[in-house]
Amino acid sequence: MIKHTILLALVLLFSITFQAQDARKYTTHIIKEGESLKNIAKKYDCKVKELKDLNPDVDEDNLMVNTALVVPNNNKEKENKKNENPKDTTPTENQVKIHIVETGQTVYGICKKYNVTMFALREANNLTSDNLTPGQKLRIPSQSEFMVKPSEQKVEFYQVKKGDTKWRIATLYNITVPELDALNPDLQGELQENQFIWVPSKEVEVEEEVKDSFQQEQDPTFIYHVVKEGEGLFRIAVLYSTTQEDIEKLNPEAVKLLRPGMLLKIPGKKKDKFVTHVVEKGDTFYNLTRKYKVSEESLILINPELKEGLKLGTTIFIKPIGEAKNTFESPNISNKDILKVSFLMPMMSDSAYAFGRNTNDSKLRTIIADYYLGAKMAIEELENKGIKIDFHVYDTKNDVAVIQNLLKKNSIQESDVIIGPFFFDKAEMVAEVLKDIPIIVPLYSKKQESNHQPNLIKTGIDEKSTIDALGEYLVDYYKNQKIILISDFIEKNVSDQQQLEKILKEHNVPFQNISPTKNPKNETVLYINKASLLGGIAKEKETWVVLMSDNLSVNSEVISTFGMNNNGKIRLFTNIQMKKLENINFNHLAELKWTFPAVYFDEVNNKEIDAFKTKYREINFAFPEFYAFSGYDVTYDILSRIATGDLINSLDNDKSMRLTRSFDFQKTDYSDYINTGVLMYMLNSEFEYQLVK
């Protein structure tokens, strides 16, 4: 038998979790502007090395303001904190405190307010979920409930191996099972392989076979992360340049319950440096997304605390520093070469045909058929122009296993470009396998905002981006016009109004809000004061009215009032192309030069669109709809870019307009491409829609 200290190297790395619970030995320090580890160590009468050991994730050369550090809680500093915070909200040993939940409050926010752990709050109130109800009463746990009493022994981490039981581990370390439970108060249920638990850190006799098996199981390619309050798996994955799925595979227990202090095994990739931003007065999501060229969704995913809004002085993560390099080269096809194209589409060719459109399979087949027919017409037109195209369609059946088998085919691996699969998660999987081939994502998906592969080309556009395009148009063409914003109470329209207000405020463009009134007997019935509308018209300059409403009575009143009092000085804008205009006078709309943003529009008086509709009807005995136009536009745009030059160069520099859509690709910080082509249309005096931007 030999003496061996299990996991001694991990003591310093993971001591934060246990020691942070020992309130008598450790506390926290919020980093202030200009501070360094050296002067913080001096303040707390400790060594810099001790601070580094307690905070393994800290970057000594780049301390982030407002970050919390675990520091020794000596008597001097403890007394200072007592004087600085005489009204500490942390419950004492004998306090029983009740909190009444207010609207919008979260478990995380309440725990932060009272300085208790989320686990302790859930346990004290038998919470089975984190969904809280306004007025709900919560008992705030006392110190004895959420702070582990310090052990007289030093402790370290032990990684559970296959076949381990509490009795076996307790026996190995010469303690009882109750003593092991006391060291691990959050330990519930059976032990899981690779789980980390606390054990005494004294020299113990360990059997040789146990020692050897432990050494063999350690994988130096892995690193470890201690979960902090408010952290989610997505943010942790981003910080370590890995995926949420990879972390879940290594830590199945985290899928069920991710809690502060939990130790996660992370694939051994070097941690990225991140661009950070300290929130200042006047900051909005709009100006941050514009300044750093990121989406609001990605900011919230990386910084979940932003769900409660931007808070002055807080430091937030923006994006990794630097850009990834492209992992594929542009296919460069001359007119003498053949362009090889593969379509991966859920054709469901062997499914029993479902009559009508009542089943999901039937609806999907209809969408795919429309898209394919449009794409086929684009290929035929390109071939008539002398471009040689060899294309094949592969039925994915919307099944991962089928797609994985298809990717083994030489014909697919030799493709110059792949269009599809239609669902983003599967397209991302294909891009990961075939890194040298551009993968075209045909339709928009919310997932594309936070998932990236350098060879992904995302052609779909989020309908939410139309309000940004409208805001940019108003700002670009603003010349001291008076701007009036009118919205009903539908969530989307309220959100659009708020976003538009942000954009206008960001550019110091003044505006006025006019709101409809709800009928006190029936809140679904709205009306708008005609006198308020007339009073909003500017006398000596042009008035721009932005209408964001789905309510027919509000729309009718606004358009008729301004239409009859126009005199050429009033212009109407809407946040989308309004479909329900049965009761609206089109003469008024034309007089008001009705203008709106659109990601897709086929009602323009255009010879090419008319020709496409005619040919499509002759071939398919039906009028083309959205997916048919999309199939044509995406296929024609991408293949023509490849066939006439370098694809990447074309994506970087060329904006194009096809039948119903614009393609203005922007390269993200991850080197994939996303389409931002939103267009602005206006109804002119001849009742024709014309492109204005």
The per-residue DSSP string of 551-572 comes to -HHHHHHHHHHHHHT-TT-EEE
Q: Which of 428, 282, 373, 404 is nearest to 620 (CA)?
A: 373
pLDDT in tens, 49-69: 887 777 766 778 778 766 667
C-alpha–C-alpha distance, residues 581 and 31, integer Å:
57
Lookup result for tokens 């029983």? 96
At residue 368, what is the residue type? Answer: I
Q: Which two tokens stand for residue 264?
A: 């996660």
In the prediction, which pLDDT does 157 show? 66
Distances (CA, A) of 543 to 122, 271, 502, 529, 571: 55, 53, 20, 18, 6
- Which position has the token pair 């099972």? 177
Q: In terms of Cα–Cα distance, which of 34, 75, 31, 32 is closest to 51?
A: 31
Which pair of structure tokens corresponds to residue 475? 């700002």
pLDDT of residue 522: 79
Residue 630 confidence (pLDDT): 93
pLDDT digits (tens, 9 = 90+) for 620-655: 888 888 899 999 999 999 999 988 778 888 888 888
| CA–CA gap between residue 667 and residue 651 (Å, rounded) | 8
Series of mean pLDDT values for 10-residue runs along the chain (693 residues): 33 35 55 82 83 74 72 54 46 61 78 69 76 81 48 58 75 68 70 75 38 34 66 73 79 72 66 71 76 74 76 76 51 66 80 40 79 93 90 88 89 91 86 88 82 85 85 91 92 90 90 88 82 88 91 88 86 82 77 90 84 88 89 93 83 87 83 87 88 85
Would you put residue 669 in left (φ > 0), alpha (ψ -120 to 50) or beta? alpha
Class of residue 292 by CB neighbours under 10 A (exposed 0-12, middle 13-18, buried 19+):
middle
| Other Cβ atoms closer than 10 A to 242 | 16
What are 178's two structure tokens? Answer: 């109750």
Question: What whole-number distance in Å separates Cα of residue 626 and Cα of residue 632?
Answer: 10
At 666 the three-state DSSP class reads: strand
Q: Which domains, ranges and CATH numbers included, belong to the chain?
A: 2-8+148-217 (3.10.350.10), 338-462+607-678 (3.40.50.2300), 465-598 (3.40.640.10)
d(CA 690, CA 681): 6
3-state secondary structure of 548: strand
pLDDT of 573: 94
Backbone angles phi, psi at 86, to 5 degrees: -65, -20
3-state DSSP helix/strand/coil percent for the chain, to nearest 5? 40, 20, 45
**ω into residue 421 within 30 of 0, thus cis?**
yes
Strands 439-441 and 417-419: parallel
**Residue 37: strand, helix, or coil:** helix
Are the C-beta atoms of 70 and 12 separated by less than 8 Å? no
Distance separating alpha carbons of residues 6 and 20, to the nearest angstrom: 22
Q: In angstroms, what CA-CA distances link 62 with 12, 99, 355, 590? A: 21, 38, 63, 58
CB within 8 Å of 223: residues ≥ 6 apart: 240, 266, 268, 271
Residue 219 three-state SS: coil
User: Over pLDDT 90: what percentage of the chain?
Assistant: 14
SS (H, E, C) 389-406: EEEEEEECCCCHHHHHHH
The per-residue pLDDT for 242 is 77
Measure the CA–CA gap between 422 and 366, rounded to whole angstroms.
Answer: 13
d(CA 142, CA 27): 17
